[in-house]
Amino acid sequence: MQPRDLSDHVAYEAGRGIEEVARELDRDPSTFVKLASNENPHGPSPAATEAIRETASSVSSYPKAAHADLVAAIADRWTVEPKQVWLANGGDGAIDYLHRATLEPGESILVPTPGFAYYGMSARFHHGEISEYPLSTDDDFAQSAEDILEAYDGERIVWLTSPHNPSGSTISLSEIERLAEETTDETLVVVDEAYGEFADRESATALLEGRDGFDARDDVAVLRTFSKAYGLAGIRLGYAVVPEAWADAYTRVNTPFAASELACRAGLAAIDDDEHVDLTVETAREAREYMREAIDAHVWPSEGNFVLADVGDAAAVADAMQRRGVIVRDCSSFGLPECIRITCGTDAETNRAVDTLNEVLADLDLETDGADADAEREVPDT
């Protein structure tokens, strides 16, 4: 007995953790800084931490009340109806729910490349097909309705990532509106706003409810997560905000009690912890600006809690930085073998990352210059 054929499924490559790298290099974990997974450098919301402690003794119960309370709080945040909020086990769970609710076997989704691998993975789990639209280094990964529509061929879901991972580019609400208008009635445009708190842009939830001068739409959905700005990545808590007509599908596609009691209580506390979110966002903005100014390589503008840098040989640079105690993301798995992604850390972490990267780049330049000189000396006279 074997599982079904999974040969066309691509495994998700997560950023490497400190414990893993420290064991590999036989080093003390405390000597490392991890800036590879876009985690919150200030840790979880303190309010959420306290809520988790208080909730620990009640985890023998299913999270029915906590689930309803958190859904209501999220709905209030975005001025939607509670039934439009699909709570999930991380943003990944919300991706699965949308695919379950949308895809018939053989139907397609349209995703950005480079982009988040799980869009395609999830679609394949649900027997869907994948089409891609390119985002290019040549124009700083700019996202526009026109470019996406050139690749569009009636797919059931068009995935947008704003801010985009790994580049940090965004797409405006007017462009999202145009895309929704020019795709068919059977296409849902989903905007993944996992890094939305870090961007100086209005959420695409405005398109669902007709806020800010936009007409209300029934063909746009939005993804959000508590992993980044709220610092709850280990809790696994995310959600989708869907058109009102989609609301009833949730109970038919979600897993029972889609978020745990601990996750719901942590989310309820974190959603009102504005002080923690404000500190996190300000830290990211300062770190992005500093890295763009101080890194001795091209760094793209970003509205996420990370930056993407063109370092020539991502694998070599990431390995050299790792050996010097700074873990960053080699973006070869995104199809960008020349780029690394660096998470915005605390001031000290960001400074260390910049200094280490510049040292590595200088050393690699010296090695290259030396190799070139040796090659020239080896050329015989004619």
Count of CB atoms within 10 A of residue 76's CB?
Answer: 12
166 belongs to a structural domain: yes
> What confidence tens digit (pLDDT) does each residue in 81-108 have?
999 999 999 999 999 999 999 999 999 9
193 belongs to a structural domain: yes
> Does 298 share its domain with 232?
no
> Does 279 share its domain with 266?
no
CATH number of the domain encompassing residue 249: 3.40.640.10
- If you write DSSP's letter for every residue of 110-146 in order, what string do you get? EEEES--HHHHHHHHHTT-EEEEEE--GGGTT---HH
> What are the phi and psi torsion angles at 195 (to 5°)?
-105, 20
Range of the domain at 80: 48-270
pTM of the model as a whole: 0.92
> Does 32 share its domain with 171?
no
For residues 363 and 337, the answer to whether their CB atoms sit within 8 Å is no
> Does 222 share its domain with 322?
no
Residues facing residue 298 across a β-bridge: 310
> Does 69 share its domain with 169?
yes
Alpha-carbon span 292 to 310, nearest angstrom: 11
Closest alpha carbon to 197 in 152, 163, 247, 173: 163
> Does 265 share its domain with 299?
no
Alpha-carbon span 126 to 115, nearest angstrom: 19
SS3 call for 190: strand
> What confidence tens digit (pLDDT) does each residue in 161-176 have?
999 999 999 999 999 9
291 belongs to a structural domain: yes
* Packing angle of the helix pair 314-323, 18-25 (nearest 10 deg): 80
> Does 252 share its domain with 359?
no
Q: What mean pLDDT, rounded, does the chain reach? A: 92
The residue written with tokens 């960053």 in the block is 328
1 belongs to a structural domain: no
12 belongs to a structural domain: no
> What confidence tens digit (pLDDT) does each residue in 319-360 have?
999 999 999 999 999 999 999 999 999 999 999 999 999 999
- Copy the structure tokens of residue 314: 């991502």
- Copy the structure tokens of residue 116: 């988040």
Q: Read off the pLDDT band of 367 (50, 70, 90).
A: low
Q: Per the omega criterion (within 30 degrees of 0), is the bond before 166 cis?
A: yes
180 belongs to a structural domain: yes
3 belongs to a structural domain: no
Mean pLDDT to the nearest integer, 188-192: 98
Cβ partners under 8 Å of residue 82, min gap 6: 68, 71, 72, 75
The total of structural domains in the chain comes to 2
Closest alpha carbon to 160 in 176, 142, 147, 174: 176
Residue ending a domain, among 270, 286, 316, is 270
Q: pLDDT at residue 235 above 80? A: yes
Count of CB atoms within 10 A of residue 4's CB?
Answer: 7
**With b meaning 16 or more CB within 10 Å and e meaning fewer, what string describes 290-300?**
bbeeebebebb
> Does 25 share its domain with 56?
no
Look at 6-10, 278-282, 303-307 and tell me which has the smallest mean pLDDT: 6-10
User: What is the structure's pLDDT at 274?
Assistant: 97
> Does 228 share its domain with 345?
no
- Copy the structure tokens of residue 200: 């100086």
79 belongs to a structural domain: yes
Mean pLDDT to the nearest integer, 232-258: 93
> Does 222 share its domain with 306?
no
For residues 195 and 205, the answer to whether their CB atoms sit within 8 Å is no
> Does 261 share its domain with 178?
yes
Mean pLDDT to the nearest integer, 293-310: 98
